[in-house]
Amino acid sequence: MTRAFEQAMAAFAPALPLAVAYSGGADSTALLLACTRKWPGQVMAVHVHHGLQAAGDDFERHCRDFCDRLQVPLVVQKVDASHAPGQSPEAAARQARYQAIEALAQHESAAFQTIAIAQHADDQVETLLLALSRGAGLPGLSAMAAQWQRAGLSWCRPLLEVSSADIRAWLKAQGAGFIEDPSNVDERFTRNRIRARLMPALQACLPQFRDTFARSSRHAAQAQALLQEVAVEDLVRIGVPPAIKLLQCLSHPRLANVLRHWLLSVYQATPTSAQLVELMAQIDACRTRGHQLHLKVGQGFCVRCGQVLDWYNPELL
């Protein structure tokens, strides 16, 4: 049962030195232990203390003790991961972790080129199911990438095709201890309900669901990459800010695609589905010089400025 884990680690070939995001849980413990054995002296651990649980200090002590036994350097980053109104606690914690690791990487004493994260095949399925439950498009259905670049770092998920059961079986064989985060079984969170209720049902009905769901996510990611290429080409052709007459020449799917790309790449704005539909209708209606357009999109407004479409956030003016 441990073969999948061992194969994944054998295939993992990151740029060294390497940092492992280490929470003290089973998955990150297995990843840290395997990386330390494979690249002795080339691995460090990064523990992010979220400040959200009373047990957070106990987690940190466990991580320090384990890293001392491994003789692996550990850096603890303390953050405030409390969520803003309308933001999910999970998203806030994830953003805080990324920002903490990026800040550490920028520090002159932090010597690592790659950060490894222990998310696995079960996490990938849960992410896909969450995306489906929210009516997500291709970016959401693509779930989690195995590797990507961000803030000058290479980020990797080497265990993305390994099940949680395989990871724990390997860890048990090593006799290594880990901690259980009580928040992972709190069914007030949708992801935890999926883990507790849906995953066992899927295992009983569709034993190969981890592989087949992952294949669907890869197909979605490939399709999204193609749409991104088309959007980049279209935006070059219609200009920034976009010319309304050229937008009107695009098919509805292509128009939606380039509008999403323009808003996100230039303004970091993301329209809702309803906002995007209304924006496209308003663009189509702009056939006379006097037709005005002023529409809420994301955290700001899309407006007509002469012959082009523009966007602004009044809070930033």
Question: Tens digit of pLDDT per residue, the chain (317 long)?
Answer: 679 999 999 999 999 999 999 999 999 999 999 999 999 999 999 998 766 666 667 888 999 999 999 999 999 887 765 656 655 666 666 777 777 788 787 774 557 889 999 999 999 999 999 999 999 999 999 999 999 998 788 999 999 999 999 999 999 999 999 998 887 888 888 999 999 999 999 999 999 999 999 999 999 999 999 999 999 999 999 999 999 999 999 999 999 999 999 999 999 999 999 999 999 999 999 998 888 999 999 989 999 999 999 999 988 76
Q: Give the start-to-end residue ranges of the domains of the chain.
A: 3-212, 239-316
How far, CA to CA in Å, does 183 sit from each of 54, 93, 201? 11, 12, 22
Burial class (CB in 10 A: 0-12, 13-18, 19+), 173: exposed
Site of tokens 């981890």? 210
CATH architecture for segment(s) 3-212? 3-Layer(aba) Sandwich (3.40)
Phi/psi at 274 (5° precision): -65, -40
Other Cβ atoms less than 10 A from the Cβ of 294: the count is: 9
CATH architecture for segment(s) 239-316? 2-Layer Sandwich (3.30)
